[in-house]
Chains A and B, each alone.
Chain A
Amino acid sequence: MGQIVTNDGQNVSGSPKNDSLNDTLKRANEAFIKEQQNIFKNVWVPVCHESELLNPYDFRTSSIGNDNIIICRAPDGKVNALLNVCPHRGMLIERRPQGSFLEGQASGNPKRITCMFHAWQFDMRGNCVYVAREKEGYQDRFCKDDAGLRRLRCSVGFGGFVWVNMSDQPVALLEEWIGGALSPIMRQISSSPLEVVHYHKEIIQTGYKDEILNGLERNAGLAANLFFPFGHFASHNADEKTVPNGENKFPAPNATKSVKVNLFPGYIFHLSGPTLHVSTITPVSQNQVMVENRGLAPTSDSEQERLARSKHYNSIFGPFRPLKSEGPTPNGKPESNSPELSKHYNEEWVRWMEKHYNENGSLTNRVVAQGQKANPNLESEASGPKVVVVGASHAGIAFADKLRKNNFTGPIAIFDRQVGGPMERPPLSKGFLLGGGEIVESKSLLRQKKWYKTNKVRLKTQSIVHSVDTKQKTITVNNGVVVNYDKLVIASGAKPRELPDTVGVANAFTLRQPSDANAIRQAANNADSVVIIGGGYIGLEVAASLRKKGMVVSVIEAAERILARVASKPLAEHFQKLHEKHGVNIFTGIGVDKINHEDGIFAGVVLSDGNEIKADMLITGIGVFPDSKLAADAGIETQREDGGAILVDEAMQTSVKDVYAIGDVSIRRDQSLAVESVHNAQETASIAAAAITNNALPAIQTPWFWSDQYDTKLQSVGIVPVGESDIYQVARPGKKEGGISFWSYRDENLIAVEVVNDPATYMEARQCLDTKQSPDPKQISNRSYSPIDSGGARS
């Protein structure tokens, strides 16, 4: 029978204080119901692995608490979790544990989830697509559009597991919930695709909590050394006899050593030698729990490797494994670290259950409070870092680098919401889309791990900064962790603009983060055609990359020409010809009236002239907006009351003392145009670093930019003031065939230069602008004329 534990952690099961057996049973049942409601319906549950539904229309059923759920793979490959209950009469829809909807069933059409009772049909996203006798039976009182299956929060990750949360408003995002708990095994379980090769389940005659706590006793021999918020913890093998210093090398077939991660309330990821074992609990009653056991192995295994893993797995986790006696230790007591593990677990359990006992405090507040308490490492940060950077963007990383180069010796901490180390963004729209993850993995990290260590910069990824208190000089990070600062630097960058009609449409993307690029690359591998809305640099770079893959590419630009906001007209014409030569269809001066989709999957666009372009995927590249909400919420002045870039002075300081903003999220008060570029990120970072270290502010450099499309390299220096009628361009032939540059002038003054495939000319142009020289516009088209030291000076 499950134990009953009161708020203060006292086990009162069978206690003489209980006045009767009936009371005990009643309280146990109440506790069970509360556990279902308070815990299991609010936490992230790894319901299955993506390999259990490999193909479009595959499904897997499961249950969380007392709710039946179904997990489906949509035609676009996306995994969705739905309540497996028909909204018509509340009947269970799919009863098989696993299968495919691709073929028709006795009571269901192909590609549809069909309720066997009244034949209501749903697509893989849960949309209701057919109601029997809809018009005859319901007239206008009901529409099938209002009767979809309830969609649940669902995410695939952390080794390819499908995570579902029954709550519409989880207390934390999945990444926040996991936090760093899986980090001890993350590299191993993410390094190659895995599949479930072993599955069995068992019903254990005890409450789920007892089973977990009993499992902690079985951790004897494992040294618990990592505690995480939300009751998670990790233990590793202390068997140094066989593995002196190494860690588990899974998925290598000869891996040894053991690492075990317990995620609250009972999901265990256990790397044991060459095997990955994942067990999940599902409480059945107050004194019964089902444990599902999954063994995973790399899909790339040879037959022999698979056999060896299987034997190892079965000897430790299989249903016919020997249950070895642990035996006493030399001092006669079993070696166990369970007291501190049990305490950590119980504290979390009580916290979740308290919501019911005390309605005055919200669960979130309690969890937040716990977050402050549970992780001593994070707690220590409250008195630690003096310079805190929000966002590991180009600007954020460059700032930290400059700060150290300015001999700043204080602590620096960077908080970033992304998973993994910050990366160079420029390659994402170029080589990365052509495949080969190596480009991003190895070459495109903004800084290698060693840099952080050498420069004593603490990078905290998967850390969302929720708020800034400029009076207390603190920020609040995941789970309520409060971090103080002396100087705060906001480098949160920008977010891509989306078209409202594309939100929620499958196979419709924007591109900003590595995860966006990865999603585009994956979709492109299964697509033949793409529509790109926006003929700016991002749109054109993506067009070039996807055209190289052989896709049919259509670029739609609402302005009269491509690159209308960022480049001169001659350069835009040059690039338009380049793309057309490579077979890209470019439509300018035309808008998009409608986004077509079928079953929620992008199918094409209807242009403002009525023409339709059908395509398999859509990429929207219509610019970005500053991610300044954090600052605006904190009362820091932005361009507009409802947002815009953060306004800064010449030292990059915001309207609040000791709070700086750099990169794409910022704009100087004397600037009218925000410049989103690597140059701007680096320059603003240098200025802020100089200001904080009381050094002279560096001189403003001439802005520069580059773009790679096909085999063409564009380098530009200066900003072309497009749209100003007094600006004109002069073309200058390149030193080699294919090279050309466009020199923009106002009167006799050189303003900017755009250079195509001519690096030497770019260097000359940059020198001219940096030294405020203006070569003669009448002679610049002459290749034999040298623009350097030609005597012209800008006024």
Chain B
Amino acid sequence: MTNASAVEIEKKIEKIIYRTALALDDNDWKSWFDLCDDAFFYSITSFSPEINKKMTYFSGNKKELVGLMDMLPKHNTDHSPLHRHTSVYTVEVADEGQSAKAISSVTIYQNMLDGINSHLDSGESRLFVIGKYFDEFKIEDGNPKFLSRETKLDNRRLDKGSHWPL
């Protein structure tokens, strides 16, 4: 693999991460799933200094996530939109261009819609969570697809809110 093709893959990976952020911001689950391999696995984790352990808050494979999204209309939901601010820090291409890993920072804001008292709260933006994305990609014909995403949150105080991928 030439340096030029490696750079090209890196750029594609950056783009797919940003496109994912947009799709997730829009709750456009289908567009996001289209960017994921069938073997995709998603998790939200956090390390708790309180109990000195790494924890998993949410996890599922692609099939489970699709099922969960289909059930969303039957769930009570905080409708306040989430906005992801993502910066891709590192991309490492491996296996002669067949796979890659990326680390990105993510800050997610919540723009209040319903809240406790929408009369007062709606319209306000609040910091929701902070953390990092740890992504793994499968690359076929020069095109990356998500194999896994681990959203490592710094938050352990998580007030009632989203119950879908961040």
Contacts and interface: CB of A to CB of B under 8 A. Distances in A.
A323 B159 contact: no
B74 A319 contact: no
Contacts of B52: 52, 98
A229 to B, nearest CB: 32
A582 B116 CA distance: 74
Interface string B55-75: 111110000000010010011
A314 B71 contact: no
A321 B57 CA distance: 9
B58 A320 contact: yes
B49 A98 contact: yes
Contacts of A201: 156-158
A321 B60 CA distance: 12
Nearest to A292: B50
Given A202-B158, A202-B160, A204-B160, A320 B57 contact: yes
Interface stretch (A192-200, A329-337, A416-424): A192-200
Nearest to A290: B157
Nearest to A96: B49
Given A98-B50, A314-B58, A318-B58, A324 B159 contact: no
Interface in B23-69: 44, 46, 48-53, 55-59, 68
Contacts of A323: 75-77, 160, 163
Contacts of A204: 159-160
B164 interface: yes
Contacts of B143: none
Interface string A463-478: 0000000000000000
A98 B158 CA distance: 19
Contact of B50 (A199, A318, A321): A199
Nearest to A323: B76
B55 A199 contact: yes
Contacts of B53: 196-197, 199
Interface string A756-791: 000000000000000000000000000000000000
A16 interface: no
A197 B159 contact: no
Interface in A39-92: 51-52, 60
B33 to A, nearest CB: 18
Interface residues of A, number: 28
Contact of A324 (B48, B75, B164): B75
A567 to B, nearest CB: 53
B71 A322 contact: yes
B75 A314 contact: no
A197 B55 contact: yes
B68 A199 contact: no
Contacts of A319: 57-58, 158, 161
B162 interface: yes
Interface string A299-328: 000000000001100100011111111000
Interface string B146-166: 000000000011111111100
A197 B163 CA distance: 20
Contact of B49 (A97, A200, A202): A97
A200 B51 contact: no
A318 B60 CA distance: 14
Most A C-beta atoms less than 10 A away, residue of B49, B53, B55, B161: B55
Contacts of B77: 323
B5 to A, nearest CB: 38
A199 B51 contact: yes
B57 A314 contact: yes
16 contacts: A51-B51, A96-B49, A198-B57, A200-B157, A200-B158, A201-B156, A201-B158, A203-B157, A204-B160, A311-B59, A322-B75, A323-B75, A324-B74, A324-B75, A324-B76, A325-B76
Given A200-B157, A202-B159, A310-B59, 16 more contacts: A97-B50, A98-B50, A198-B57, A199-B48, A199-B156, A200-B48, A200-B156, A319-B58, A319-B158, A319-B161, A320-B57, A320-B58, A320-B163, A320-B164, A321-B163, A325-B75
Interface of A: 51-52, 60, 96-98, 196-205, 294, 310-311, 314, 318-325
- The 3 nearest A-B residue pairs measured at CB: A319-B158, A323-B76, A320-B58
Interface of B: 44, 46, 48-53, 55-59, 68, 71, 74-77, 116, 156-164
